[in-house]
Structure 1
Amino acid sequence: MKLVNSQPGYFAKRTTSILFAISLICSTISAAPNATVSTNDNNNNSNDPCAAIAGQTTASFHEAKACLDHFPFNESIATQTLDTVRKVTKELYVFNEIASSPPHIEGLSAVPVDIQHGLDVIQNEKWQSDREFQEAVALLLDKVHDTHLVYSPFCYRQFIFWQPIQLNALVRDQKSVINVAYVKNDIWPEAKESWVGCEVTHIDDQEALDMVVNYAVNNNGESKDVNTCFNNIMNTKSYFHGWDDGADDLGYHRFLPAQEMHTYTMRCPKNGTTPSQDQFDAPFTVKVPWVAQVPINFNDADSYWNNYCQSSHTNYAKRGAIGHLDVDELRMMHEGQAFDLSPESARNAAAGGKKGPYVEFITLDKPQAEVGVIDIQSFSIDSNDRQDFIDTFYNGLKEFESKGIKKIILDLSSNGGGDACAGEFIINTFFGSTPDYPSDIKYSPFLERVIKKAAETEGTKWGDYKNAKYNGTDWFTQTNTYTRGKDQVKFSQPVSLSCDRWESELTIDKNITTPWKAQDLLILSDGRCGSTCAIVASRLRISHQVAAMGLGGIRGNRMQFASFPGGESQRLSGFLMDLQQLNLQDDPDAPSPFPERADMGWTFREAYRPTATGSEMGKETELLEYSVNNADCRMHFDDENSNDVKKLWSDVAEVFVSGQCPLIHD
């Protein structure tokens, strides 16, 4: 858990009511139906808003907006884009039907979203700019509150928009407050260091806490748990582990913000006092603009479009030839190298460096010297790092044992998931084995053709799925029909993921024993433990009875310790490369590449709770994505531990050792 400023992530996300979002950004002025994209007819910067800011470090909100809105709506691009999104969501997205009519589960915020209807609404609107159209597609998918489901138009994700005031949420004197965590006076010199530690009482004339909670509820698609969304929007001096951290928070966007500036009313501690002493100077109000960090690889509108927006697949639909699917283009997007302004970790990875650290072992100081922390930062283990990850884990446990560590905190906060077999390895190391989580895949004739072809090809992902009762591809073709929302949907037989290939290539001690039992372990999570992380945490908590502590969130209500557990995600860029490997990219039902440089993610395989056996198998309420897994106890940030992770861990250890976080049997 590293305490650094939030960094840009791979996919930027935000949510709002679909029809409201469309009406908000829809223009009543119709664009020419076949308008060309490039409009830079001359080199006069006064007519080219992108050229006007090229080479600058920062730009104002209006300058950045003018550049991003310079590219007119193109009906051909829109039609091809929507066709691909329709195919993916209708045929491949496993939660398409349940999203339109989700079950009511106490503790979850699941708003009904009819994706196909929303796409029809978008198609029938007249958009003033290409950006407005592209953002409407992203907004629609975000409303499902499934972080695996995302549309990312890279063309409009190149600027980084900052609020110079960065906020966190603390509990101070038994009261929740919004606090200035730090300021970015490097992008706005008027931001004062003296504001750090000041309490924000109002934002845009609303009570600050109310504004933040409302934003979390209505404008964040991170999770169906509001507490997780609350944690996600606060751009604190918090840990960044390499995923979409801060991409849609209150102080950092990858997309154009909805307004030019915000007003903050603050009260600061009197000189020589601390905030907890409750002695403040008179409140004051400041107006703070959004400041755009400008990408570096463009000179004008034409070069901006060519470098960030133009895809080699623009005319793909007209080709129909196998050899024209540009794998290099797909790989660049899939590996996250489509940005000028990228996280440092992504830059290092692109340069061939190690992507870690993935896990760190920390021994706490007295009086919690017998407590160790395993900070599991990511399960996205690069294939070249797997053995090192395993060795690091074994060596860390041996060191803990030699130091007499009695209790272990498994910190899974801000872990975006990754390799399911890495998670399986950790569970098995502590508990020898763990029950498989049943999962299944949505059936379609197109996917049947893919799986049958994959069965004839070595080295595909489909060989990792197993079902003891079925041979070959029968696990997929012998379907089950389950109720999802208001529909009856066909799914494959239950499958689990085989890690045989992962294990066969690595040195893993399957006979290892550790001295720690379930009661000696504690899961620590801010809720932003997603995908593989969510499944690992759920298996530890449900199958092995490891207690879980929630971190942060909205004070006074229970929170989940995991989010978007889905089961398995897929990205269009990777899926298209798989199709080319199988010589199926020209299948009539295959989704086409996006005509602009963009990528899309979706949940591909749904996972069930371990209790989903017998008659419970197939019930939508047994899906991890649509069930509640609450933490057993809670820890909040305060003035001391919000900037000192060892102090935070020490506070957690004190609660843990004193027995104040017992397992709750709901």
Structure 2
Amino acid sequence: MVSPSLRGLAASAYLIALIALSAAAPIRKKDACGILGATNTTDLTYDIVAACYKAIPFDSTIASETIGSVVDIFNDYYVFRDSALTPDLQMPFTSAPVDIVKVLEKIGSTSYTRDFDFHTDIALATASLHDAHVDYSVNCYSAYFFEQPLFLYAPVINGQQSVRVLIDFLGRNISDCEVTTINGNAALPYLQNFADSLSLSKDAGARLNAAVGSMVYDASQNDFLYNSGQFSQSGALPKNPNITYELQCSNSPSTMTITDYWYVRPNYQVKFDSVDSYLKNVCKTPSKNGTPSKRELSSLVKKRSTPVFKKSSLYDAASGIVPPKRTADLSNAEKLGTGNATVFYQLQNPSDVGVIVVHTMEVEYEGNELTFIAEGLSEFKRRNITKIIFDFQNNGGGSVDFASTIVQLFFPNTGPLDKILPQDLRVDASIQAVSKRVFNTTGNLYDAASYVDFATKERYTSDELFLNPVTITRNGRSSLFTNYTGILTTDLQDSAYTRFVQDFPWTNNAVNIRILSDGRCGSSCALTTNYLHDLYGVSTYSIGGIQGEELSFFSFAGGAVSDLTTVIEVYNLGNVTSPLNPLPYYGDLRFPLVEVYARNSDVPLEYDYSKYPADTHLNFDSENARSRDVMWAQVAADAWS
């Protein structure tokens, strides 16, 4: 029999031993991604995200599979592979020739230690093509979004271009202060150098417009809101944890220096507690909210080139910071109506000028939008408006059909091909095989029934389009292409729309129409502006960019964009073995698959630099950059006074 005292001693000994064992047992230490996964959204920092991104080890198998798929796309499907080698592009273009396949193959043969560096180099290589239709993005390194609390712009004040503060969300009374240096470097060259890394355009001025802040129309708010520009927000990890600005303000004889850290927020919610689980749940598994697109008109390509700034983690009820007014005060313009893609305004002075803001070409019900536009034009006429400004700023494109039909409301077709420019696609044996199997099935880009036969002016009735390719040699490199064709668009020639608009003062009258753009009018928006200017002689205005240099009124006019995933799906649909493999990481590679030519030109419009410069180049100033109606009045005064 054990006495109570002995039982107590035994229990004490057991507890002491247990404590000793517990103390000796190793405590699992969180790795960099574990720390990120455990961090509250409000406590996120650049350093925490960067540490996780850079902790992911390089995997040669994943790298080999990735570079194989990317090289295959650019070597065999990318429609501008050979055009990208073009040397000595003339103004307004400033892009250097890029042998994208060679660049990618070099990345594939480089030894890396960090996975992050490998994927970043691919993204930078694709961006160097300066074509917003091209985008490489994976969830792994676009899981977080970064914002600066101030937006910059580059106005011309007193005849001199400088970098200034467009708006400051921390209430420091620094709006319109001149930014003399950024990170210790002269501000304007530093900002332009950053802009030249962006994919938007081959025009350095248009890229500068993409980098800086501006007012853009936000359909969700039905108003003009401040847009950060890509310098002040990023879906990729910025180079540094903060930005240091040296400011010269008019109310102070001395300069002031401020250092702003990036505000960070997640693009979507996925749980992980280690590098391994980050790889599993973020990199290799689709997120519940889908793949976050690269935040640059980039990504933006179907709807807009850059996202509109919206209230986010910068503000909360406890911060005590009052957000500045973000909407535009259009004192000289009355809004008459809002559609899905267009908004109608009337200038108060001069009152005979109407404005149509075309902020996207992406329309769900095209017939409804055309009806809205026709009704808006009727209201213009009722109000004795005789002149129209089209405002295409920050329009990332959308529907190729709408690009045609909106122009037909002003310059009605006289033939079915009036608003169809010559186009072609690359061809190889596998494309020929799949085109046979998917003919007249889905309307995808390898379905010949989606295209018009220029010889008959009718839709293709067989897959002949892909069966009789021609060889085109550009810059010493040859590829097979289809004969000239065109994506079929709706012909309104005999429709009620054409009859409705025939007596308007601007119908078939280019003198009464002007185009306004900041160069960020891309894809199908580029087609619309090309139709209006090149086919019908509508005068063009561009605003912003680089003082004293020509500025494009459209960008990335590649024609039609697809992506690796979609092309693989087309092969699967046709029950044809795909020569392409999906990316091992969740994400995608987007690229132009169709090239377009201006009328009577054999140079793809993407590289036909003579078609890009606007007739008139305006500068941003402190007033028109914040009030779009001021800008419209400037165009009206120059055009019709």
- Band the TM-score falls in, shorter-chain normalisation: 0.7 to 0.9
* C-alpha distance in 1 between matches for 2:266 and 2:485: 46
User: Is it true that 1:200 corresponds to 2:179 in the alignment?
Assistant: yes
Partner of 1:547: 539
8 A contact 1:235–1:252 mirrored in 2? no
Query: In the alignment, does 2:271 pair up with 1:298?
Result: yes
Aligned to 2:582: 593
Distance 1:459 1:266, change over 3 A: closer
Map 1:623-642 → 2, pairs under 5 A: 623-628=605-610, 629-642=612-625
Q: What corresponds to 2:598 in structure 1?
A: 609
Residue 405 of structure 2: aligned partner: 425
Say if 1:149 and 1:46 are closer, same or farther in 2 by CA, change over 3 A: closer
Is residue 379 from structure 1 mapped to residue 361 from structure 2 by the alignment? yes
Q: Secondary structure at the match of 2:520?
A: coil
CA shift for structure 1 position 294: 3.6
Q: Is the 8 Å Cα contact of residues 103 and 626 (structure 1) preserved in structure 2?
A: no
2:285 counterpart residue number: 311
Contiguous gaps of at least 5 residues in structure 2: 1-25, 221-225, 300-305, 311-337
Q: Which has the larger radius of gyration?
A: 2
Secondary structure at the counterpart of residue 96 of structure 1 = coil
- 2:453 is matched with 467
* Residue 650 (str. 1) matches residue 618 (str. 2): no
CA 1:253 to 1:225, structure 2 compared with 1: closer, same or farther past 3 Å? same
Amino acid at match of 1:225: D
> Is residue 572 of structure 1 aligned with residue 554 of structure 2?
no
Q: CA RMSD in A?
A: 3.1
CA displacement, residues 341-360 of structure 1 (integer Å, 9 cap, x when unaligned): x96899xxxxxxxx973111
Query: Which of 510, 526, 530 matches 1:538?
Result: 530
Tell me, yes or no, if structure 1 residue 451 matches structure 2 residue 435: yes
| Aligned equivalent of 2:201 | 223
CA contact (8 A) 2:228 2:308 kept: no
**What's the counterpart of residue 287 of structure 1?**
259
The offset of 1:44, in angstroms, is 3.4
Once the two structures are superposed, what CA deviation does each residue of 1:287-326 show, in whole Å capped at 9, x if it has no partner?
A: 22333224443342355434431137xxxxxxxxxxxxxx
Asked whether the 8 Å contact 1:609–1:624 carries over to 2, the reply is: no
Contact 2:526/2:554 (8 A) holds in 1:
yes
Q: After superposition, give the CA deviation of every residue in 1:522-550 in whole Å (9 maximum; x if it has no partner).
A: 00000011111111111111110000000
Deviations 1:10-48 (A, max 9, x none): xxxxxxxxxxxxxxxxxxxxxxxxxxxxxxx98633664
**CA distance in 1: counterparts of 2:260 and 2:309, whole angstroms:** 30
Aligned to 2:321: none
1:192-217 deviations in Å (ceiling 9; x for gaps): 43112211112122222222223223
Give me the whole-angstrom Cα distance separating, in 2, the residues matched to 1:521 and 1:42.
Answer: 72
Q: Which amino acid aligns with 2:455?
A: K
- In structure 2, relative to structure 1, the CA distance for the partners of 1:124 and 1:486 (3 Å cut) is same
Do the aligned partners of 1:69 and 1:131 also contact (CA within 8 Å) in 2? Answer: yes
Kept in 2: contact 1:364–1:373 (CA 8 A): yes
Which residue does the alignment assign to 1:105?
Answer: 90
Rate the CA distance shift 1:290–1:205 in 2: closer, same or farther, 3 A.
same
CA contact (8 A) 1:182 1:193 kept: no
Q: In the TM superposition, what whole-angstrom CA distance separates every residue of 1:219-248 from its partner, at most 9, and x where no partner exists?
A: 222111111001000033444579xx9797
How far the C-alpha of 1:52 sits from its partner, in A, is 5.9
* Cα distance in 2 for residues equivalent to 1:208 and 1:451: 52
- The whole-number CA distance in structure 2 between the counterparts of 1:115 and 1:241 is 36
Q: How far apart in 2 are the matches of 1:345 and 1:449? A: 46
**Equivalences for 1:124-273 in 2 at 5 Å?**
124-185=109-170, 192-217=171-196, 219-239=197-217, 249-270=230-251
1:487 paired to 2:477: yes
- Bigger mean CA offset, 567-576 vs 440-449: 567-576
Q: Is the 8 A contact 1:220 1:248 kept in 2?
A: no
1:10-89 → structure 2 map (5 Å cutoff):
44-45=29-30, 48-51=33-36, 54-89=39-74
Write the mapping of 1:393-404 to structure 2, written as runs, cut at 5 A. 393-404=373-384
> Which AA in structure 1 matches 2:202?
K
Query: d(CA) in 2 for partners of 1:334 and 1:643?
Result: 29
Partner of 1:369: 351
Residue identity (%): 26
Q: Secondary structure at the match of 1:194?
A: coil
Task: Answer whether contact 1:58 1:291 (CA < 8 A) is retained.
Answer: no
Q: 1:476 aligns with which of 454, 466, 474?
A: 466
Q: Which residue of 2 aligns with 1:525?
A: 517
Structure 1 residues 332 and 200, CA gap change in structure 2 (3 angstroms): closer
State the AA in 2 paired with 1:496.
G
The match for 1:14 is none
- C-alpha contact (below 8 Å) 2:136/2:588 kept by paired residues: yes
In 1, Cα distance between equivalents of 2:144 and 2:593: 30
Amino acid at match of 1:144: L
1:159–1:294: 8 Å Cα contact kept in structure 2?
yes
Q: What CA deviation, in whole Å up to 9, does each residue of 1:415-438 have, x standing for no partner? A: 111111001001111111235311
CA–CA distance in 2 between the matches of 1:344 and 1:198? Answer: 23
Deviation at 1:577? 3.0
- Name structure 1 gaps, 5 residues minimum: 1-40, 186-191, 271-279, 313-327, 347-354, 613-618, 659-666
1:386 shift after superposition: 2.1
Deviations 1:114-159 (A, max 9, x none): 2222122111222222221111111111111111111111221121
From 554, 557, 569, the equivalent of 2:549 is 557
Amino acid at match of 1:493: N
**What secondary structure, in the 3-state scheme, does the structure 1 residue paired with 2:540 have?**
strand
Q: TM-score, normalised by structure 2?
A: 0.81
**In structure 2, what is the Cα distance between the partners aligned to 1:345 and 1:447?**
41
- Alpha-carbon displacement from aligned partner over 1:485-536 (angstroms, at most 9, x marks no partner): 2112221110012125x989x9862433232011110000000111111111
Q: Secondary structure at the match of 1:292?
A: strand
Give 3-state SS (helix, strand or coil) of 1:122's partner: helix
- Distance in 2, matches of 1:59 and 1:332, equals 22
Could you tell me whether the CA contact under 8 Å between 1:379 and 1:417 is conserved in 2?
Answer: yes
